[in-house]
Structure 1
Amino acid sequence: MRTRSSIHLLSVLFATCALQVATNEDDSSCSFDLMKACRSSVSAVMKAVRVSEFGGVSVLKMKEDVIIPSPGPNEVLVRVHAAGVNPVETYIRSGKYPALPNLPYTPGNDAAGVVHSVGSKVSQFKKGDRVFTQLCTGAYAEFTTADQNSVFDLPERLSFAQGAALSIPYRTAYVALKRVQARASETVLIHGATGGVGIAAIQFARAYGMTVFGTGGSSQGLEMALQNGAHKVFNHKESGYLDLIREATNDDGVDVILEMLANVNLGEDLKLLKMDGRVAVIGNRGTVEINPRETMTKRLAIIGVGRFTDEEVKEAMAAVVGGIDQGWITPLVGKEYLLENVTEAHRDIIDGNARGKMVLLVP
């Protein structure tokens, strides 16, 4: 654990000690006592991203004097090595989210690292364990605390960057598929399959025995979707791609759509769904006009994915841990950024430049 105490304070104390030693040679305890006083007066601090007001990326401030939190009785203190970057964190930062943290705060929901210390009632983890966590806030920092029930073992086969890609993306994908009651043998279209949630959804849907279609905006992203299990992929930047999706289903349509950008695609989604189809709205950045008659004539359901219940989170993370143990969950890490480049990461994820999971590295 590193300390960045006030250098000025240290200088003053050492100078005072030297002066006292020079004027009173018998007081040999001076240096030791002053050093003890200095150490006890300075708390251990860390690097962390702090937000003191809601707004654009400029409100993300790197600080080097944030007090390292102490774990409560049921908490684990983690030395963070990687933190995931999620779209929801940009919504919270901008103040455009239903539930906002108290200011100031440290952003970040997903972290992976090594246990540094544990609370008095924690028995399942110990110092040195490799773990990943799910948090409300606090991942964009060198250290973070998490309730022991929100901390999970990270196997050696997965890197810290992959660990930081596990919580929000896989939890979201699992809950989305469950809320739309996705079933084996059905066809699912993942509309935005190349980001963190999209890749997670591909892996879950394949494990469930579904036929998986995915869309993306680049040849590299589409290739990644195929490598992670998608049966067919379509470039949503190309005109006519919706017709190609229909052709791939023999004009029957798809059973389920996981939608990452509803304000752009929801109207067309309703046309792509077959009878009794369901669309899960995972992402949205504005308003959209739809024809409700589409839902009436085909008995369609539009289901929001957000504000997870405690039971949903518990079930989802159990599924994630099970998939890790069985070897079919392997997060795909995209672009990596140093912690001090967090503003660039927040710009990129909103600009739609994600291929795989964006991650902040915390050396």
Structure 2
Amino acid sequence: MKAIVCKKYGLPSNLVYEDVTSPKPKDNEVLIKVKACGVNFPDTLIIQGLYQFKPNVPFIPGSDVAGVIKELGANVKHLKVGDEVFGFVMQGGYAKEVAIPANVCFKKPPKMDFSVAASFMIAYGTSYHALKDRAKLNEGETLLVLGASGGVGLAAIELGKLMGAKVIAAASSKEKLQLCKEYGADEVINYTKEDLKSKIKELTDGKGADVVYDPVGGDFSELALRGTAWEGRYLVIGFAAGQIPKIPLNLALLKGCSIVGVFWGNFAMKNPKGNMDNTLQLMKWMEEGRVQPHIHKIYPLEKAPLALEEMMDRKVRGKAVIQCS
């Protein structure tokens, strides 16, 4: 089968499009023929050896997959060959076929396009776990979303509104902020032109944000934490800026706030029932038309390096998707 292979850590241009052996599913896995794979910012870090875990090379990147079941592992009973599904795998998605754990593989609603299904699991799973389980976001609270025009950011805006919050979206351009408004943001901040901390205070009548959703890291993290309300919750989602900030911990003391880590992938593996409950709720909202991923562009499998380059260059709004078959 064809796949995108990372043979040495480095930039997307180092990736190789070549024939590899199709995987065999283990007892608790299913083999799917991949129709589409979502591109996520961690993919750009994993291929450079900069992510929290470093797979041994060579490996196939890609985690957010949708396709058709081709083969079942011996212990899999709730799925069958031919089922259209979407799911999550630690690596292997940029390929014609991939084996994924059955406990994070879900039947795709018939009306859901494969490209949408491949844009769903990580962005919405991460954002819902963050807001519901980690922040315990309450109706009437204020949610600040950094990097708000990205896949997880737009999902956080939609879910924050569904959960009854006032949502402030922060991003780096007028065009990105316009998309955030279309996804339901009540207020917006252009943090390349406005002072983030003072603007947060202005938009919250001096109180600050009850919950901060930060997938960016870098220079804006401390400013956002300084704009957090008393007993606020600061969600550490990721570091798209490429820099892991060093936070003065006295800020947590002075504000009585919590700095909360969010690692949806580990949550999904360690608490499959909780993840199943969350996914079923998200699928219900999807079928009702209350959430909808924004597809930036669909790339053929051999152009996956270009998709990753455009992700690194901050050209992607919403989700980029690799069409695998």
2:212 maps to a residue whose letter is I
The question of 1:295 aligning with 2:252 is answered: yes
Q: Name 1:337's counterpart in structure 2.
A: 299
Runs of 5+ unmatched residues, structure 1: 1-45
Q: Name 2:69's counterpart in structure 1.
A: 115
The question of 1:82 aligning with 2:39 is answered: no
**Corresponding residue SS for 1:100:** coil
Moved more, 137-146 or 112-121: 112-121
Q: Which has the higher contact order (CA 8 A, sep 6+)?
A: 2
CA contact (8 A) 2:143 2:213 kept: yes
Moved more, 47-56 or 118-127: 118-127
Q: Normalising by structure 2, report the TM-score.
A: 0.90
* Matching residue within 269, 283, 294 for 2:238: 283
Q: Name 2:120's counterpart in structure 1.
A: 166
Provide, for residues 6-56 of structure 1, a one-character-per-residue CA deviation record: whole Å limited to 9, x for no partner: xxxxxxxxxxxxxxxxxxxxxxxxxxxxxxxxxxxxxxxx11011122222
Q: Name 1:39's counterpart in structure 2.
A: none
**Which runs of structure 2 are paired with 1:251-270 in the superposition (5 Å)?**
251-270=206-225
**Which runs of structure 2 are paired with 1:155-234 in the superposition (5 Å)?**
155-177=109-131, 178-234=133-189
Question: Which whole-Å CA distance do the structure 2 matches of 1:48 and 1:224 have between them?
Answer: 33
The question of 1:132 aligning with 2:86 is answered: yes
Q: Name 2:8's counterpart in structure 1.
A: 53
* Matching residue within 315, 318, 323 for 1:356: 318
Moved more, 274-283 or 305-314: 305-314
Question: Which whole-Å CA distance do the structure 2 matches of 1:253 and 1:54 have between them?
Answer: 41
The CA deviation at 1:123 is: 2.8
Identity percentage of aligned residues: 33
The CA deviation at 1:189 is: 0.2
Q: How many residues align?
A: 317
Question: Which whole-Å CA distance do the structure 2 matches of 1:353 and 1:105 have between them?
Answer: 26
The CA deviation at 1:94 is: 0.9
CA contact (8 A) 1:259 1:265 kept: no
Query: How well do the aligned residues superpose, as a CA RMSD in angstroms?
Result: 2.0
Which structure shows the higher helix fraction? 1
The CA deviation at 1:300 is: 2.3
Runs of 5+ unmatched residues, structure 2: none
* Matching residue within 69, 74, 82 for 2:23: 69
CA contact (8 A) 2:127 2:159 kept: yes
Question: Which whole-Å CA distance do the structure 1 matches of 2:73 and 2:226 have between them?
Answer: 53
CA contact (8 A) 1:281 1:303 kept: yes
Larger radius of gyration, structure 1 or 2?
1
**Corresponding residue SS for 2:222:** helix
Q: Name 1:308's counterpart in structure 2.
A: 266
**Corresponding residue SS for 1:224:** helix
CA contact (8 A) 1:131 1:153 kept: yes
The question of 1:97 aligning with 2:59 is answered: no
Q: Name 1:319's counterpart in structure 2.
A: 278
- Where in structure 1 do 4 or more consecutive aligned residues deviate above 6 Å? none
